[in-house]
Structure 1
């Protein structure tokens, strides 16, 4: 896993863009034209990744599932048998919590929405996510603890072995389908929902999408989103990773 992660970080932006800039410096005397091309590609890539407008436009292509209307929450029990919340990493040793690991902000966004769906519909909840950094507790356990303590929702099942979206689906199926549960509400980021829905359908589920955190809309950024924003770089990285995941899943699964 560490080797695969290391390679992935350099093959995907912004790591790839840094390699282009390093290549431009290395080739500046021997191959000036190639060096210029690498410099323009690297710097231009960073500039595009920093623009909120680019984030918005790319996200619109990924966020194909509409949001669940508030009016539909209470009726979910007629459309599904359980709610599945997908993990989104963890923060290690948060000093504000006595050095205990905590779910990331993205995971908390999913958990908050799942908690509201569970309270409105009465559906049971499964948290899905394995060991992050290879050490316990699992993402599923962290989410279950916080759902109970912070949102008043008791999680019925914890799937603690998965490391990818595909494994989220396969291992959730191993828990739920022997119980006769084949209709699930999947809660994850809107830009991650395409791949999640496909993975869960491949695992034999009927999926009701529960997307959160939409990025493909006008968030009222100054100057129409054409000014660089440091948060946009992180968001662009997430979206590009998702595009690669969509392509890779259909090729390898």
Structure 2
């Protein structure tokens, strides 16, 4: 297991807050006031992160790239030379499909990319590496779905990346040697600022095509103030993204 993966999941919620609660329990007799503060922060943090309204407000801070107007899809060929769609994870060993499949989040990206390809006629690259070193790559899974289910051909596969920075670097190796430097980039709206920064840092001109916006009215009862398991998962995604956006300029220059 990569150390980066282990550290991230120990620090970010829910693990970080659960560890704080365990630490507070251990301190309850030694330093009771500090233990009470730890319990309050841990339980309060878990509650806040499980609220749809928290997801909505946090996403609005991160999702700074606007949606690409459908009226302009046909003109993308004048603004870019290729479409790049980033992997969004996988579901393992699904017996209905006889193996791994792209995650629902990845499928959302693929569906959007397929429409952009049909509207613009631009060639398509899929980017995503192996899952802890085990084939098939995310790019291979994505290409199969695009070609078999959406009828969209894939010209390039970037199959070595494990991070957003590696998505960008690997894509640059494939496309820039063919003289391609202007791309349409497809990923989640909350992921787009960090993805755009990475691709621009390796020399691309980027037309952002975000999908899957979370910073929209949540439509839940009581305005989203009731806890939900899905909101807790989405909050974790947003926290991970905020941390990545903060650290990337220092890690990759």
Scaled to the shorter chain, the TM-score interval is over 0.9
Give 1:134-153 correspondences, 5 Å limit: 134-153=133-152
Give 1:83-232 correspondences, 5 Å limit: 83-98=83-98, 100-232=99-231
- Give SS of 1:109's match: helix
**2: CA distance, partners of 1:155 / 1:17:** 42
| Cα offset, 1:134, TM superposition | 1.4
Match of 1:233 in 2: 232
Structure 2: segments with no counterpart, 5+ residues = none
2:4 aligned with 1:4:
yes
| Cα offset, 1:210, TM superposition | 0.6
| Cα offset, 1:3, TM superposition | 2.7
**1: CA distance, partners of 2:8 / 2:242:** 14
| Cα offset, 1:89, TM superposition | 1.2
**2: CA distance, partners of 1:62 / 1:134:** 31
State the aligned residue count: 252
| Cα offset, 1:19, TM superposition | 0.6
**2: CA distance, partners of 1:30 / 1:109:** 50
**1: CA distance, partners of 2:67 / 2:41:** 36
Could you give the per-residue CA deviations for residues 96-155 of structure 1, whole angstroms, max 9, x where no partner exists?
112x11000000000000000000100000000100121000000100011001100010
**CA RMSD of superposed structures (Å):** 0.8
- Give SS of 1:210's match: strand
Asked if the contact 2:53–2:218 (Cα under 8 Å) also holds between the matched residues in 1, the reply is no
| Cα offset, 1:6, TM superposition | 1.4
| Cα offset, 1:15, TM superposition | 0.9
Match of 2:75 in 1: 75
Asked if the contact 2:102–2:138 (Cα under 8 Å) also holds between the matched residues in 1, the reply is yes
**2: CA distance, partners of 1:219 / 1:79:** 33
| Cα offset, 1:30, TM superposition | 1.1
- Give SS of 1:97's match: coil
Provide the TM-score with structure 2 as the length reference.
0.98
**2: CA distance, partners of 1:7 / 1:113:** 33
Asked if the contact 2:130–2:160 (Cα under 8 Å) also holds between the matched residues in 1, the reply is yes
Bigger CA drift: 83-92 or 2-11? 2-11
- Give SS of 2:190's match: helix
| Cα offset, 1:31, TM superposition | 1.1
Match of 2:46 in 1: 46
**1: CA distance, partners of 2:175 / 2:4:** 30
**2: CA distance, partners of 1:162 / 1:141:** 12
Asked if the contact 2:85–2:127 (Cα under 8 Å) also holds between the matched residues in 1, the reply is yes
| Cα offset, 1:95, TM superposition | 1.1
Runs of 4+ in 1 over 4 A off after TM superposition: none
